[in-house]
Amino acid sequence: MEIGENEKRRARNQIWTAAEEYEFEPSLKTYDAEGRADLYWNTVAGCVRRDWDGALEALFVSFELSVDCQLYEQLTWLGLESAAFRREKDRRPALPALRRGYARRTLEEFARFPSDRPIHLLTAGRCREILGQDPELKGRDREVLNALDLPGDLDGDVLAERLRETLTAYFGYVPQDPARSKAADGPDTGKKRRIFGSQRGNRVHLPAVRGFGYGFGEHSRDLTGGSGPAPQRRLGDMSVTQSAEALRVYIASYFGTPLYAKEQVKKLERDLCVGDHKNCKLYYAQGGDDLDKSARGYAGAQRRAALKQMVKNKAAYDANLTRNHASIARLTARIRNAMLAHLQPTVVRTSAGILDAARVWRAAELDDDKVFNRTLRSDPGDLCVDILLDSSTSQTLRQETVSAQGYMIAESLTRCGIPVRVTAFCSLSGYTVMTRFRDYQETDRNENIFHYFTTGCNRDGLAVRALGRELEDAPCEHRLVIILSDAKPNDVIKVSRSGSYLDYVDRIGVLDTAREVRGVTRTGAAVICVFTGEDEDLPAARVIYGRNFTRIRKLDQFADTVGSLIQNQIRNL
């Protein structure tokens, strides 16, 4: 976007007025989505310069050589906005109205261009709070937003320390060695640095981009201190370090070692990421507890949080060990009974075996040597089962329950000698991630299911489609898919139809998932659902799975409820 000179001058004057200082060139000026000077954010920037610039200098400098520099700066601005507003709202009567206007515009932009990037989710949550709404954040994200809701009466040093503590606790921030920063800057000029601009003629050594939210920022220098036109960036857009390849690396550091080679995944994307799933990506992860030691910043913090959840899952299961063992025993018995009924012995006539006296005459009169009987039994290896776990954020409050249910089903099937494969799915930053906890032949890896954790969104239709492709190589004639889901598909990548872009949510997501489930059943596989959601989502479950779903209200009912569902499907094989 080309920003006009008049708007540049207007932005400069807005910052000067708020800062009560006119002898500097602002290195950061902000604009709305139409390229107009953003009065609210330029006022905030000016107020922060006036009150806290010097105290915050070291914090901003410490971000410079970090790969997560942009994220740290955006999060810092989220906290600074809160502090500046609280300090200035009584002195500036128009400020609350300007803030509400900013919040409305931001949420409108978020609705048009949804994102699951942390800064965008937190920004949208803050804007909902500004408008008196629920921030629609849970767990860790809610904690971060509260931590960044800073009072305005803090002095600069305390404010900087509060921000530093939040970044360290939630995002793995490690302050940069000052010696590295000085070396990167070159010889010390002895001139005082300023975060929001320099005295006229001074160099600006800080990064070009300090993005926050949805809008535009203009920065007068780049990271190297080079001259030239000011870069104009959509605040929050991916930087160079967040290119397609960097995003893939980010997903890998978040979810762990890839299961398939890159070339194989690209082929799967060409085949599967079409139609309503165009522009989506796939990542297949090995569901272990390995932690990328080089992962830092947000990805590293989230990975560590996932590892903590894995420990909680196992601890919650062990806390009810007697009940869970009893459920596994009951479920195993029900599956065995269903298999025995399905594998009723079949008597066939052969030329060798047990003589059938009533047919002996046929050998002499009809020259028929098939006067012997032989009992044949079907092979239990004719059946294999896939368990698919919804691991999106909507399941956050049920992580211990879902992991326990997945484990108990897999353990019961394993005891019955039935091959089982367990996969979790979620979507993050355009990637639908399929995490494999165990494969058919890995009978000793059921405890890997406790590595289940939730994050991101869920593109149920693409996950079912991807699993359907893998079922083509299943080693059994009969295939059963058990999906543990809240039947609430929701993803940020929109669906393109007839030139329009539709949200992958509610009816669009439900009908797409139902279509993909029908596609799997047309291949001869059976699909059933263990519903984990709320009452309001029951109609969606019926649309997607028909009558082939059950709901477990209490874990004491788990074995009987799931057992009945599996029995019915085995009888229909």
Which two tokens mark 181? Answer: 């920063």
Main-chain dihedrals φ then ψ at residue 453, nearest 5 degrees: -150, 160
Quote the tokens at residue 270.
């060409």
Say how many C-beta atoms besides its own lie within 10 A of residue 155's C-beta. Answer: 10
Q: How far apart are CA 102 and CA 81, in angstroms?
A: 12
- Give phi and psi for 154, each to the nearest 5: -80, 145
| Structure tokens that stand for 224 in this block | 């190297």
d(CA 473, CA 386): 12
What order do you get walking across the sheet with 354-355 strand by strand?
346-350, 372-376, 354-355
User: In whole angstroms, what is the distance from residue 466 CA to residue 66 CA?
Assistant: 36
Kindly give, in sequence order, each residue whose CB lies less than 8 Å from that of residue 284, ignoring residues fewer than 6 positions away. Answer: 258, 259, 260, 265, 433, 434, 435, 436
What is the torsional sign of CA 291, 293, 295, 297?
positive
How long is the chain? 573
Q: What is the pLDDT along the chain (573 residues), one digit of tens a residue?
A: 456 777 888 888 888 889 888 777 776 788 776 677 889 998 998 999 899 888 888 888 887 766 677 788 888 989 999 999 999 999 898 999 999 999 998 888 787 777 777 888 899 999 999 999 999 988 888 999 999 999 999 998 999 999 999 988 888 777 655 444 444 444 443 334 445 554 433 333 333 333 444 455 554 433 333 333 333 333 333 333 345 676 787 788 788 889 999 999 999 999 999 999 998 999 999 987 775 656 666 666 777 788 889 999 999 999 999 999 999 999 999 888 887 766 555 667 777 778 878 888 887 778 788 878 776 555 555 789 999 999 998 888 899 999 999 999 999 999 999 999 999 999 987 899 999 999 999 999 999 999 999 988 899 999 999 999 999 989 888 899 999 999 999 887 888 888 788 889 889 999 999 999 999 999 999 999 999 888 899 999 999 999 899 888 776 777 888 888 887 777 776
**Domain 248-335+380-571: CATH architecture, name and number where available:** 3-Layer(aba) Sandwich (3.40)
Q: Between β-strands 420-428 and 431-438, what pairing exists: parallel, antiparallel or unpaired? A: antiparallel
Q: What are the residue ranges spanned by the domains of the chain?
A: 5-241, 248-335+380-571, 347-376
Gap between the Cα atoms of 408 and 316, Å rounded:
13
The pairing of beta strand 197-199 with beta strand 354-355: unpaired
Q: How far apart are CA 504 and CA 495, in angstroms?
A: 6
What pTM was computed for the model? 0.61
Instruction: Find tokens 């900087």 and name the residue.
Output: 160
